[in-house]
């Protein structure tokens, strides 16, 4: 009986100690991350460790707020960095559904801004196949209208 009581008391004490240690460790991590050099160390680790970085991105993708922050920062950075803008453009081009979605959202903006509209038309005309396809589509629609 004494052995059972000792084991129960030992188990309870061990549970309290482990609980206290885990709480202490959690607060210690939060406290350490208040230090800018510790923040930098963690961020460096996350960028250098591919798997950890992917986990972080996945975690952020689960939050609408975080996703919005990522997109905002990416677009702001791409507006000032032609290499990043090219990478972003390549990624959008690689996914046709994303390309159509992006085009769908930007067309009203382009239509409402004469400078953007002129630039878009000039850029489109530089690509002969695209200009030809658009012309054929317009001619086809005209022929449909005449038949009705």
pLDDT at residue 12 tops 80: no
Domain boundaries, the chain: 40-94
Whether this model's pTM surpasses 0.85:
no
Task: Give the tokens for residue 45.
Answer: 């680790």
Write out pLDDT tens, residues 136-148.
Answer: 888 888 887 776 6
Between residues 4 and 81, the one the model is more confident about: 81
Write out pLDDT tens, residues 62-88.
Answer: 999 999 999 899 989 999 999 999 998
CA–CA distance, 69 with 67 (Å, rounded to integer): 5
pLDDT at residue 35 tops 80: yes
- Residues with Cβ within 8 Å of 42's Cβ and at least 6 positions away in sequence, in order, are 33
């Amino acid at each position: 009986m004494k052995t059972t009581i000792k084991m129960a008391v030992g188990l309870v004490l061990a549970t309290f100690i482990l609980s206290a240690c885990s709480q202490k460790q959690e607060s210690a991590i939060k406290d350490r991350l208040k230090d800018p050099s510790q923040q930098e160390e963690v961020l460096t680790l996350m960028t250098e460790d591919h798997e950890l970085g992917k986990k972080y991105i996945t975690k952020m993708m689960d939050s609408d707020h975080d996703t919005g922050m990522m997109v905002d920062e990416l677009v702001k950075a791409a507006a000032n960095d032609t290499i990043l803008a090219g990478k972003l453009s390549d990624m959008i081009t690689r996914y046709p559904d994303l390309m159509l979605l992006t085009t769908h959202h930007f067309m009203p903006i382009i239509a409402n801004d004469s400078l953007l509209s002129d630039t878009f038309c000039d850029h489109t005309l530089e690509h002969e196949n695209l200009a030809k396809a658009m012309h054929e589509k317009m001619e086809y629609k005209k022929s449909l209208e005449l038949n009705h």
